[in-house]
Amino acid sequence: MIDLLCSQLGEAVQSAEQVGDELRVRLPASSLMAAARLCKEHGYNYPCDLTAVDTRSELVMVYRLISLNSGQQVVLSVGLPRSGARVPTLSGVYGAAEWLEREAFDLFGVRFEGHPDLRRILLTDDWEGHPLLK
Amino acid sequence: MLQQSILTEHVTLNMGPQHPSTHGVLRLELTLEGEVVVDCRPVIGYLHRGVEKIGEARTYPQFLPYTDRLDYLSSASNNAAYVLAVEKLMGLEVPERAKYLRVIALELNRIASHLVFLATFGNDLAATTAFLYAIRERELIMDLFEMWVGARLTQSTFKLGGVSDDVPEGFVQQARDFCRLLPGRVDEYDRLLTGNRIFEARTRGVGLLPPEVALDYACSGPTLRGSGVAFDLRRAAPYEMYDRLDFDVVTHSSCDCLGRYLVRMQEMRQSVRILQQCLDQLPEGEVRAKVGRVVKPPAGEAYGRVESPRGEFGCYVVSDGGTSPRRVRLRAPSFFHLAVLPQMLRGWKVGDVVAILGSIDIVLGEVDR
A121/B45 Cβ within 8 A: yes
| Eight-state DSSP code of residue A62 | E
A121/B216 Cβ within 8 A: no
Whether A53 and chain B come into contact, CB under 8 Å, resolves to: yes
Question: In chain A, what's the furthest Cα-to-Cα distance?
Answer: 46
* Residue in B231, B303, B339 closest to A98 by CB: B339
How many Å apart are CA A99 and CA B217, to the nearest integer? 10
How many Å apart are CA B157 and CA B144, to the nearest integer? 12
Complex-level ipTM:
0.91
What pLDDT digit, counting tens, does each position of B26-49 carry? 999 999 988 899 999 999 999 899
Pairs of residues, one from chain A and one from chain B, whose beta carbons lie less than 8 Å apart? 72
Amino acid B184: pLDDT? 94
Q: Are B30 and B300 in contact (CB under 8 A)?
A: no
Question: What's the predicted TM-score (pTM) here?
Answer: 0.90
Q: For chain A, positions 25-44, list CB contacts with chain B under 8 A.
A: none
B231/A98 Cβ within 8 A: no
User: For B166, phi and psi rounded to 5 degrees?
Assistant: -75, 155
- What single string gives the DSSP state of each residue in B256-302? SHHHHHHHHHHHHHHHHHHHHHHHHH---S-SB----SS--PPSEEE
Chain A partners within 8 Å of B338 (Cβ)? 99
Q: Are B297 and B83 in contact (CB under 8 A)?
A: no
* Residue in B229, B237, B303 closest to A64 by CB: B303
Is the residue at B151 inside a domain? yes
Q: For chain B, positions 167-226, list CB contacts with chain A under 8 A.
A: 213, 215-218
Residue A53's closest chain B neighbor by CA? B327
CATH of the domain at B309: 1.10.645.10
Our count of domains for chain B comes to: 1
Is the residue at B202 inside a domain? yes
Is the residue at B23 inside a domain? yes
How many Å apart are CA B270 and CA B248, to the nearest integer? 7
| Eight-state DSSP code of residue A11 | G
B329/A68 Cβ within 8 A: no
* Residue in B50, B217, B237 closest to A95 by CB: B217
* Residue in B237, B326, B339 closest to A99 by CB: B339
Q: Are A72 and A48 in contact (CB under 8 A)?
A: no
State which residues form the domain around B191. Answer: 11-368
B368/A68 Cβ within 8 A: no
Hey, which residues does A49 pair with through a beta bridge?
A: A64
User: What is the distance in angstroms between the Cα of B324 and the nearest Cα belonging to chain A?
Assistant: 14
Chain A partners within 8 Å of B319 (Cβ)? none
Determine if the peptide bond prior to B95 is cis (ω within 30°).
no
Computed from CA positions of residues A22, A95, B310, B247, in that sequence, does the dihedral angle turn out positive or negative? negative
Q: Are B363 and B69 in contact (CB under 8 A)?
A: no
Q: Which of B159, B167, B206 is nearest to B350 (CA)?
A: B206
Q: Which of B175, B176, B16, B153 is nearest to B78 (CA)?
A: B153
Amino acid A13: pLDDT? 80
Optimal mutation site among A51, A101, A122, A133, interface B, most CBs of chain B within 10 A? A122
Q: Which of B311, B345, B367 is nearest to B15 (CA)?
A: B345
Q: Are B338 and B364 in contact (CB under 8 A)?
A: no
| Eight-state DSSP code of residue B132 | H
Amino acid A115: pLDDT? 92
User: For B91, phi and psi rounded to 5 degrees?
Assistant: 65, 40
B329/A51 Cβ within 8 A: yes
Is the residue at B6 inside a domain? no
A49/B314 Cβ within 8 A: yes
Q: Is A34 helix (H, G, I), strand (E, B) or coil?
A: helix
Q: Are B118 and B264 in contact (CB under 8 A)?
A: yes
b/e B67-83 (16+ beta carbons within 10 angstroms → b): bbbbbbbbbbbbbbbbb
Q: Report the residue count for chain A.
A: 134
Q: Which residues contact B6 (CB under 8 A, 6 or more apart)?
A: none
Chain A partners within 8 Å of B329 (Cβ)? 49, 51, 53
How many Å apart are CA B179 and CA B278, to the nearest integer? 11
Other residues' Cβ atoms within 10 Å of the Cβ of residue B212:
12
The residue ranges of chain A whose pLDDT is under 50 are: none
Q: Report the residue count for chain B.
A: 369
Hey, which residues does B31 pair with through a beta bridge?
A: B12, B39
Domains of chain A: 17-22+39-123 (3.30.460.80)
Q: Is B42 helix (H, G, I), strand (E, B) or coil?
A: strand
Is the residue at B154 inside a domain? yes
Q: How far is CA B348 from CA A3, A104, B112, B258, B360, in A?
A: 47, 31, 30, 15, 16
Strands B300-308 and B162-163: unpaired
Amino acid A18: pLDDT? 86
Computed from CA positions of residues A78, A82, A84, A90, in that sequence, does the dihedral angle turn out positive or negative? positive
Strands in chain B per DSSP E:
11-15, 27-33, 36-43, 158-159, 162-163, 300-308, 311-319, 327-331
The residue ranges of chain B whose pLDDT is under 50 are: 1
Is the residue at B101 inside a domain? yes
Amino acid B3: pLDDT? 55
